[in-house]
Amino acid sequence: MEIVFLGTGGSVPTRYRNTSSTAVRVGSEIILFDCGEGTQRQMMSSTVSYMKITRIFVTHLHGDHFLGLPGLIQSMNFAGRLDPLSIYGPEGTAALVDSILHLGYFQPSFQVSGHDVEDYDIVRGKGYSVKAVRTDHTIPSFGFVLMEDGRPGRFNKERAIELGVPEGPLYSRLQSGSSVTVKGTRITPEMVMGDPRPGLQIAFSGDTRPSEHFMGSILGCDLLVHEATADVSLQEKASEYGHSTAREAAIVASLAGIKTLYLNHFSGRYEDVNLLLEEARDIFPNTYASEDLMTVQVNYDGTVISKKFQDVRAGNDPDDRALS
């Protein structure tokens, strides 16, 4: 999977960070998590095409997480979009989408549907599903877990040769789950395929205080994107407003057995987020700070490759940062 951070700041845009929005490329689709103001413009500076967005998941109905929706929908319409768009979020999301569709004389040429979700609701797509998980903010809120479907086991070519299966189309049929017949003998996929392998899982916290409910629902995820609004000296204030510190995000990642943690939703008071990064790494060393327009590739072997926007635009592959 490929993640593109479109906005990594909290509350209001700053010179360095836009408001919350993260895109994930799954096959030919783009799944968007939150859509703060200015998201469509961020996309124009990124590798993400808003015409390929099929679903948008809104964590909660604070403006910095949804105010980009009207402009994004209108831009899709002006570009001639015909494919439907589905938007999911907490109670009130369906009504919000309906209100957007009745702004002035704006009437999109494609179907836009809003859906209210509840705890543990699952939205299924082609090759993936997204689970909503209740979080602990000041208003109804959800985190989301993007779960790739399981993958077939590895094909055992040596075993296939032993069974007399000739190289070519029959290999593909076995790998796709179909049985084949060779010289009167039926060969089933189980005879030449290894055990099924799990798909990747990526979790997004949205805005939340540290939440045992959320933590228990993301156990073992390959990557967690967790808000880190403030440093530990502001923990009491962060909790009052329904947020986490970077240290608390790291504790969640550690207890949940997460492989890689990315911090985001930084308060505008931090032009430099190294303080937050250091506090998190004291607890969970495999932590990184997200940046606007950063691209992150999550691999099946457990590695994560991160590119800053300047490197993506220039095509500077040698500057990729391989993270374990």
Pull the structure tokens for residue 268: 């505008």
Task: Classify residue 35 by burial, with Cβ atoms within 10 Å: 0-12, 13-18, 19+.
Answer: buried
Q: Interhelix angle for 93-100 vs 69-78, to 10°?
A: 50
Q: Interhelix angle for 274-283 vs 246-255, to 10°?
A: 30
Residue-wise DSSP of 206-251: -S-S--HHHHHTSTT-SEEEEE--B-GGGHHHHHHTT--BHHHHHH
Does the active-site annotation cover 64?
yes
Query: What sign does the dihedral 240-241-243-247 (CA atoms) show?
Result: negative
- The CA distance from 288 to 49, in Å, is 25
Distant-in-sequence, close-in-space partners of 233: CB < 8 Å, separation ≥ 6: none
The secondary structure element, H or E, covering residue 115 is strand 112-116
The 8-class DSSP code of residue 119 comes to T
Phi-psi region of 271 (alpha: psi -120 to 50; beta: other; left: phi over 0): alpha
Q: Which whole-number Å values give the CA distances from 222 to 102, 104, 113, 199, 225, in the listed order?
A: 40, 44, 30, 10, 10
Q: Which of 64, 136, 207, 222 is catalytic?
A: 64
Which amino acid belongs to residue 225?
A: V
| CB count in 10 Å sphere of residue 61 | 17
- The CA distance from 130 to 113, in Å, is 17
Catalytic sites, residue numbers: 64
